[in-house]
A and B are shown apart, each in its own frame.
Chain A
Amino acid sequence: GEQVEQLPSILRVQEGSSASINCSYEDSASNYFPWYKQEPGENPKLIIDIRSNMERKQIQELIVLLDKKAKRFSLHITDTQPGDSAMYFCAARGGTNTNKVVFGTGTRLQVLP
């Protein structure tokens, strides 16, 4: 089945700078790639997603890039703020079973003042 690798596990950035999280997947038929944000003590919430028919998607300060050839996708947060400090999970939905996604291991982002 699908497997997703996520790096780095911990990311510290200065407030106002950019943060990047990278994920890779194995199933070339995977067609949907969501990103979830989990604040301390809270549940994960979807923040942005991209489908395989797109290479780039942006929602405000969030940018997702998808490289299907390399089987990699990434989340970029521009102009980070303290409220961006959280755990971030990437995920991929495989091509054979579209009823579930496989999550990466998570990145803890700390935005330093």
Chain B
Amino acid sequence: EAAVTQSPRNKVTVTGGNVTLSCRQTNSHNYMYWYRQDTGHGLRLIHYSYGAGNLQIGDVPDGYKATRTTQEDFFLLLELASPSQTSLYFCASRRQNYAEQFFGPGTRLTVL
């Protein structure tokens, strides 16, 4: 099974704080995704990428930046965190021409 790791697993910050969430996959998957999960909203796509240096805007991108530095690493950046960004964040990866997404363990972010 594909291996996707995320760090940190838990993060608490204050309003206006700067946060970086990290995701790494070691299966040479082309596609990587950042989602947030909130009760009543399911999983919503923030940003995604199909390779190093590429970035595609998702469905709820406001307040988030992302960067794909290598095939393995995808980062989500919150430069001015707000309480509305308190959520459970999942990273996922997918191999080109295959549909299944493999999710990481999640990062719980709390913005006070």
Contacts and interface: CB of A to CB of B under 8 A. Distances in A.
B75 interface: no
Contacts of B64: none
Contact of A105 (B41, B56, B59): B41
Interface string A49-67: 1000000000000000000
A43 B105 contact: yes
A106 B88 CA distance: 15
Interface size class of A (residues with CB under 8 A): 20 to 34
B45 to A, nearest CB: 6
Interface residues of B, number: 22
Interface stretch (B65-73, B76-84, B95-103): B95-103
A99 B54 CA distance: 13
B31 interface: yes
A109 B43 CA distance: 17
A89 interface: yes
A29 interface: no
B99 A89 contact: no
Contacts of B31: 99
A44 B37 CA distance: 11
A105 B42 contact: yes
Pairs A-B, 10 closest by C-beta atoms: A43-B103, A105-B42, A103-B43, A103-B42, A106-B42, A46-B100, A44-B103, A43-B105, A32-B99, A104-B42
Given A44-B90, A100-B48, A106-B42, 5 more contacts: A43-B104, A43-B105, A45-B103, A99-B48, A101-B101
